[in-house]
Amino acid sequence: MTAVERAGRARTLLAMIAAVAALSYGAAAAAMMLAAARFGILPPDVRIAALVAGVVVAAAVAWRWRWVSSRQRVALWLEERIPELQYALVTAIEPRFAELGPALEAQMHAAPMDVPVWRAARRALLPATLAVALGASAVAASSTPGVVAALRDRGAGPAAAGSGAAPLEGVSVRIVAPSYAGGRSQELRDPETIAAMVGSSVTIKGRVAASGVSARLGERALAVGGSPWQASFAMPAAAAALRLVHASSGAARVIVVEPIIDAPPRAQLSLPARDTLLRAAPASVAVRAELTDDLGLAQAAIEYMISSGQEETYTARTGIAVQRDLGGARTGQLSATLTAATLRLGPGDVLSIRAVARDRNTVSGPGLGTSDTRTIRIARSDEYDSLAVEAIAPVFGDSALLSQRVILQRTEALVRELPSLAREAAVERSATLALDQERLRNRVHSIVFPGHEHADESPLAGEPPDHADPPDPVNADLKVAYEAMWEAGRELRIASPSTAVPPMRVAVEALDRARMADRRYLRGGTARVVVDLERVRLSGTEKGSSAGRAPRAAADTLLRALSSRLESVVSARGMSASARANALSELRVELLAVSPPAAAALGRAASALRSGRNATADLSAARTALAGAPVIRDEALPWSGW
């Protein structure tokens, strides 16, 4: 091997040393950041930051070794450490001095070129190895709950050390989201709040044995076991307090369990853009919908309904224009074209369109989201030349028909219940129905035979003799109903409701025919029903005004009560920092649904108390959120006469 080849070999070894040192220092930096996060020095989710820090440190170390990429620099480095070379190596690698090669080779033959390389390897790789070992030890220690808790208790100060809560400090929480949400897992270290989606699997682990440790989630006791202890539960639908108690030391801790509700999907119609009134049925209607969901859409559809008819007669047809499985996509789009052959719209018909989306929630769902309904109405021909008719009271036929239907329904119900009724109860109910039937028949009599009166008005005495022969009936259908009512009332008086049902039905049909026979309307003036929207839009001059809203007394009373409880917790004497933090956490569970800002401030205050920090600012923020910010009025004081 020539001297030049030995120099090239030294350069290769130096490049390998530089690469190993850079990777070692970068891995050590990333490991130290992860350990610091587990110890609570840094925020828990620093994986990306640790990766970036490792890359930056590795790049910095590699930059310091950048000289190994140059043959001349490596040759000079060897010349500095081997004086006997006398610059023969630097001269030999220069192409212009190639003719001096044999003489230079003889001069460099005995030079120890590998010795400086191995010395550089010891100086560079020994600290890098120690850094890697230190980072690995820190990560291993941070994975042991006992070590984490001991270090946190030691750094929490005398307040935490004297509180007796050490056995319940340093807990770790593992959260596994529901399968429909991707089943992602999350690790929390010593949290004040466990926030997760409803239905998530939550496992909490401590650092002491299970003997003497009990856990309750709200009013439900949790099973605790193992060494160290652990307990599992499913995330409830409402906020609750997780209470941990260590019987041996008397320590207690409260952790707030805050559920995250899965929001339903959102659906929005972009076509049709607005409600529309058309003179004639369209040849086709284009529909387009935009769909979104935070976790994933399962299915979406565009539904339509066509209603036809007027007054008492209405019909409706429903259908689905398009339906699609979205397979968990977070966004989607549906489009369809409704043709005239499908819709079969006519004058007076109303077409209603909406988009419907469902998510993949298998715990409390699926969640359903619907868009605003777009309405397209086809105008009737008489709307362009119509009369504005003043309303009149319902004619007697309408009210009589309604009353007779009610009596018929009550009689049919009595017939169904006869097998289970006692004789006295059946007779009493039949007599009551007979009384109602006779009263209605007397009202019909006054319409059928105007001016004719009975000799006796008692409805239960049967059909009394008349003073004079009745005149001809005004309406033949009402006469048929009148006679059928008389027959039905007779059967009801003898407690035979089953035989009273057929004449009652005859009376209902006769009253229906009489109701539709004659209609009289008052005279009225013409009115323009169809409005030119483009002409009248934004032309109004009247300003809308909303009515004043009364304060919610119940909510104010609850906030005052919670504010009073907060003051009692803050001003309590002789309470340890851990006990005060537990009381604030229990109060925070009730505030989550009433005042989220106050609940967030109390969470920060509880965390500060457990770590021995000052919680005054957070408690002041909670007081302000409960009582409201002070109102400052810039008003001039009235002048005094003095």
3-state secondary structure 99-117: HHHHHHHHHHCCCCCHHHH
Share above pLDDT 70 across residues of the chain, in percent, rounded to a whole number: 76
Are 288 and 271 contacting, i.e. CB atoms less than 8 angstroms apart?
yes
φ and ψ at 403, to 5 degrees? -65, -45
pLDDT at residue 477, rounded to an integer: 80
Q: Kindly report the number of other CB atoms within 10 A of residue 541's CB atom.
A: 4
Q: Bigger pLDDT: 383 or 223?
A: 223
Distance CA 490, CA 504 (A): 11
Residue 362: pLDDT band (50, 70, 90) is: confident
Share above pLDDT 90 across residues of the chain, in percent, rounded to a whole number: 3
Q: Give the least confident one: 441-450, 550-559, 593-602.
A: 550-559
pLDDT at residue 9, rounded to an integer: 79
Place of tokens 């025919």: 513
pLDDT at residue 44, rounded to an integer: 64
Distance CA 191, CA 173 (A): 8
Residue 400: pLDDT band (50, 70, 90) is: low
Over residues 200-253, the pLDDT tens digits come to 899 998 877 767 788 888 888 888 888 788 889 988 888 888 888 888 777 888
- Any alpha helices (H) in 113-254, and if so which ranges? 114-142, 145-155, 157-161
With vertex at residue 414, the alpha carbon angle to CA 408 and CA 419, rounded to the nearest 5 degrees, is 150
pLDDT at residue 165, rounded to an integer: 47
Long-range contacts of 261-264 (CB under 8 A, 24+ apart): 261/197, 261/198, 261/237, 262/181, 262/197, 262/198, 262/294, 262/295, 262/359, 262/361, 262/363, 262/364, 262/365, 262/367, 263/293, 263/294, 263/367, 264/293, 264/359, 264/365, 264/367, 264/368, 264/369
Averaged pLDDT of the chain: 77
pLDDT at residue 290, rounded to an integer: 92
Q: Bigger pLDDT: 311 or 258?
A: 258
Closest to 328 in 3D by CA, of 120, 428, 180: 180
Q: Which two tokens stand for residue 129?
A: 């190895």
Is residue 549's pLDDT more than 50? yes
- Give bridge partners of residue 375 from the DSSP assignment: 352
281-293 burial string, b = 16+ CB within 10 Å, else e? Answer: bbeebebbbbbeb
pLDDT at residue 245, rounded to an integer: 87
Is residue 639's pLDDT more than 80? no
Give 55's DSSP letter. H
Distance CA 77, CA 85 (A): 12
What average pLDDT does this structure show over 372-383? 82
Closest to 591 in 3D by CA, of 621, 613, 612, 611: 621
Over residues 514-528, the pLDDT tens digits come to 766 655 554 555 555
Q: Quick one: three-class SS letters along 314-356?
A: EEEEEEEEEEEECCCCCEEEEEEEEEHHHHCCCCCCEEEEEEE
Is residue 149's pLDDT more than 80? no
Over residues 461-491, the pLDDT tens digits come to 344 444 445 555 557 788 888 889 889 999 8
- Give bridge partners of residue 307 from the DSSP assignment: 316, 350
Non-local CB neighbours of 228 within 8 Å, separated by 6+ positions: 145, 146, 205, 206, 207, 208, 209, 210
Residue 72: pLDDT band (50, 70, 90) is: confident
Distance CA 594, CA 571 (A): 23
What average pLDDT does this structure show over 174-195? 85
Largest CA distance in the chain: 159
How far is the first Cα of the chain from the last one, in angstroms, to the nearest whole number? Answer: 113
Over residues 8-50, the pLDDT tens digits come to 778 888 888 888 888 999 888 888 888 887 776 777 667 788 8
Characterize the bridge pairing of strands 230-234 and 313-325. unpaired
The tally of CA atoms less than 13 A away on the side-chain side of residue 163 is 27
pLDDT at residue 237, rounded to an integer: 85
Q: Which two tokens stand for residue 66?
A: 């950048």
Residue 151: pLDDT band (50, 70, 90) is: low
Is residue 152's pLDDT more than 60? no
pLDDT at residue 301, rounded to an integer: 92
Q: Which amino acid is at 198?
A: V
Q: Taking each helix axis as running N to C, give the angle between helix 553-571 and helix 616-627, from 0 to 180 degrees, rounded to the nearest 10.
A: 160
Q: Give the least confident one: 67-81, 249-263, 331-345, 470-484.
A: 470-484
What average pLDDT does this structure show over 622-634? 68
Is residue 3's pLDDT more than 80? no
- Give bridge partners of residue 474 from the DSSP assignment: none
pLDDT at residue 288, rounded to an integer: 93
Distance CA 353, CA 336 (A): 11
Q: Bigger pLDDT: 298 or 95?
A: 298
What average pLDDT does this structure show over 65-89? 78
Classified as helix, coil or strand, 517 is helix
pLDDT at residue 640, rounded to an integer: 45
Q: Give the least confident one: 41-45, 297-301, 501-505.
A: 41-45
